[in-house]
């Protein structure tokens, strides 16, 4: 707060204190009780960090599991099925010619890379 705001708060507090003095004892006591109750019930934004015991265990477990799943899905994890497309090629009986001339196809592949 700047100095102007501090002066305003000080003057306001003085006027409120002066007006409270004109009240009877019962009303002042009641206002004090209400003020203390309001201050006690005021919660901080970070109270939930202190009160972890009030969070159900399943809620914390769900949150942790969700974070782990998000982390796994966000990373580029290699699929265990990588290379499965080669199994069809190996399992088929029609492509024996390819294997007989495999050296030729390897040479052709290298020549294609070196041509460009």
Cβ neighbors of 31 (< 8 A, separation 6 or more) are 20, 23
DSSP state of 43: -
Average pLDDT, the chain: 76
The per-residue pLDDT for 22 is 83
C-beta of residue 21 within 8 angstroms of C-beta of residue 32: no
pLDDT (tens digit, 9 = 90+) per residue, 51-76?
666 667 777 788 888 988 888 887 76
The per-residue pLDDT for 81 is 55
The per-residue pLDDT for 59 is 78
The model carries a pTM of: 0.30
* CA–CA dist 106, 115 (Å, integer): 14
The per-residue pLDDT for 49 is 61
Cβ neighbors of 106 (< 8 A, separation 6 or more) are none
- Structure token digits, residue 78: 């290699």
* CA–CA dist 24, 31 (Å, integer): 11
What's the average model confidence in pLDDT over 36-46? Answer: 73
């Amino acid at each position: 707060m700047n100095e102007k705001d501090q002066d305003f708060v000080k003057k306001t507090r003085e006027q409120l204190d002066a007006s409270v003095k004109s009240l009877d004892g019962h009303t002042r006591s009641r206002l004090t009780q209400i003020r203390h109750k309001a201050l006690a019930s005021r919660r901080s934004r970070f109270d939930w960090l202190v009160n972890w015991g009030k969070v159900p265990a399943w809620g914390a477990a769900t949150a942790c599991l969700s974070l782990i799943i998000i982390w796994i899905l966000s990373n580029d994890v290699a699929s265990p099925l990588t290379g499965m497309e080669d199994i069809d090629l190996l399992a088929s009986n029609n492509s024996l010619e390819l294997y007989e001339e495999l050296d030729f196809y390897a040479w052709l592949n290298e020549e294609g890379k070196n041509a460009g």
